[in-house]
Amino acid sequence: MATVRFEKAQRWYPGADSPAVPGIDLEIKDGEFVVLVGPSGCGKSTTLRMLAGLEEVTDGRIFIGDRDITDMQPKDRDIAMVFQSYALYPHMSVADNMAFALKMAKMSKEEREVRVKEAAEILGLTPYLERKPKALSGGQRQRVAMGRAIVRKPQVFLMDEPLSNLDAKMRVQTRTDIARLQRELGVTTVYVTHDQVEAMTMGDRVAVMDAGRLQQVDTPLNLYDRPANLFVAGFIGSPQMNLLPGRVIDGCIDLGGLQVPVPAGSAVPSDGRVVVGIRPEAWRLVGEGEGLPISVTVVEELGADGFVYGTSDLAGEEVNLTVRVPGRHAPAKGEVVRVAADPEQVHIFDAASGERLSS
Ligand code: ADP
């Protein structure tokens, strides 16, 4: 097992105008499960591939434990990678697929068999060892790909969108399996996904990336409760946090007649221009004459709760709003409802820089 440390690691693709990853600083603890998440093209895979040795590091260094692996061959790094496409050899049995890298490393047949047997048991693949990949389900093939990584007993697991070829139900199941397995094995893991729900449910910590840069590295709950900037606020959470333009006057933000107190400890910019962040569940329905009126345009009834989507007029600007409501009590499309925000759950951000202002 080992720590992983990126020190200003940069990847500049030949011929590109700017680096895909200008310089990443990230420390991952021994045994930790860190998820890199962000929209497509933000540099997640590039970061992972630099660690794997599949992309050259243009500047900066990367360490596994005390070893500087920046210029090491992938095979010498003591890592094992699981890709989106399982890339199993179709003509080989499950057992041979799992043992292949060990055979290449000239490990004895006896030792290979022991390792494959152990991994198969952990993964529930024992009954399938003699099958060919085509006789397995998508989820089972994914487990064989995991098995191939496990048998190597690497210092670090690297996973690049390993669940994206599975259907929705299998994805949820396998996500739990991988998270449980990682905790059992205690192997430091870096996992890449564009899916924020996957990131939030699997990671000990989640590193949110945008445009090649880390925006925030934190526990799932801290990301949700204290997003560091507007990007993280909008990216984490579904449906998205409501982000509304506001102006602070005398310690209060006026949202279309609804007065929202500025959260204690906020550093308000001199021009008073802020963006107010209110999650769908931080609203409550209030009576006539109170709160902010919303014209309901879409209602989603999910059973336990529901989401109301609507529009409101904020100082002459029409804004879209999402409000969570209790199940079976959702208002109807076309109705006007009034909402107020829980002051404890109000976030404010600098309108110019996007940085968080509330403590
Ligand atoms: P992500 O994994 O977050 O989708 P990538 O790391 O694949 O993002 O890509 C980051 C940026 O680098 C993108 O702008 C992408 O177009 C660019 N990029 C990725 N691979 C290459 C490559 N081999 N050559 C040139 N540019 C690349």
What's the whole-model pTM score? 0.93
Q: At residue 130, does pLDDT exceed 90?
A: yes
The CA 5 to ligand 1 mean position distance, Å, reads 21
Atom 19 of ligand 1, nearest CA residue: 46
265 CB burial (10 A radius; 0-12, 13-18, 19+) = exposed
User: What mean pLDDT do residues 68-95 have?
Assistant: 92
pLDDT above 80: residue 347: yes
pLDDT in tens, 303-326: 999 999 999 998 888 999 999 999
Mean pLDDT of 221-241: 97
**Looking at the predicted structure, is the pLDDT value of residue 37 above 80?**
yes
Would you tell me the crossing angle of helices 109-123 and 94-104 to the nearest 10 degrees? 130
Question: 4-230 and 240-350 share one CATH topology?
Answer: no
Q: Above 80 in pLDDT, residue 328? A: yes
> Which CATH superfamily, name and number, covers 4-230?
P-loop containing nucleotide triphosphate hydrolases (3.40.50.300)
What is the mean predicted confidence (pLDDT) over 139-158? 92
Q: What percent of the chain has pLDDT over 70?
A: 100
pLDDT, tens digit, 9 for 90 and up, residues 89-108: 999 999 999 999 999 989 99
Note the pLDDT of residue 240: 96
Confidence of residue 1 (pLDDT cuts 50, 70, 90): low
> Does residue 147's CB lie within 6 angstroms of at least one atom of ligand 1?
no
**How far does the centroid of ligand 1 lie from the alpha carbon of residue 8, in Å?**
18
Q: Indicate if the pLDDT at residue 165 is higher than 90.
A: no
> Looking at ligand 1, which residue's alpha carbon is closest to its atom 16?
41
User: Is the CB of 42 inside a 6 Å radius of any atom of ligand 1?
Assistant: yes
Atom of ligand 1 nearest to the CA of 48: 6
Sheet holding 67-68, edge to edge: 21-28, 4-11, 59-64, 67-68
Q: What is the dihedral of CA 208, 211, 213, 215, to 10 degrees?
A: -40
- Among candidate residues 208, 107, 186, 213, the one with its CA nearest the CA of residue 152: 107
The predicted structure's pLDDT at residue 139: 87
Q: CATH assignment of 240-350? A: 2.40.50.140
> From the alpha carbon of 209, which atom of ligand 1 is closest?
3
Please tell me the distance between residue 295's alpha carbon and the centre of ligand 1 in angstroms.
42
Over residues 265-271, mean pLDDT: 88
Q: Which atom of ligand 1 is nearest to the CA of 160?
A: 2
The pLDDT confidence band at residue 125, using thresholds 50, 70 and 90, is: very high
Least confident of 210-219, 249-258, 271-280: 249-258
Buried b (16+ CB within 10 A) or exposed e, 41-67: ebbbbbbbbbbbbebebbebebbbbee
Nearest CA, atom 10, ligand 1: 43
Phi, psi (degrees; rounded to nearest 5) at 281: -85, -5
Asked if 267 and 248 count as a contact pair (C-beta separation under 8 A), the reply is: no
Q: Which pLDDT band, with edges at 50, 70 and 90, does 32 fall under?
A: very high
Predicted local confidence at residue 138, as pLDDT? 87
**Domain positions in the chain:** 4-230, 240-350
Q: What is the mean predicted confidence (pLDDT) over 339-351? A: 94
**Ligand 1 binding pocket includes 38 (Cβ within 6 Å):** yes
Q: Is the pLDDT of residue 86 over 80?
A: no
Q: Is the pLDDT of residue 257 over 90?
A: no
Q: Residue 262 C-alpha to ligand 1 middle, in angstroms?
A: 40
Span from the CA of 12 to the centroid of ligand 1 (angstroms): 10
For residue 294, the model assigns a pLDDT of 96
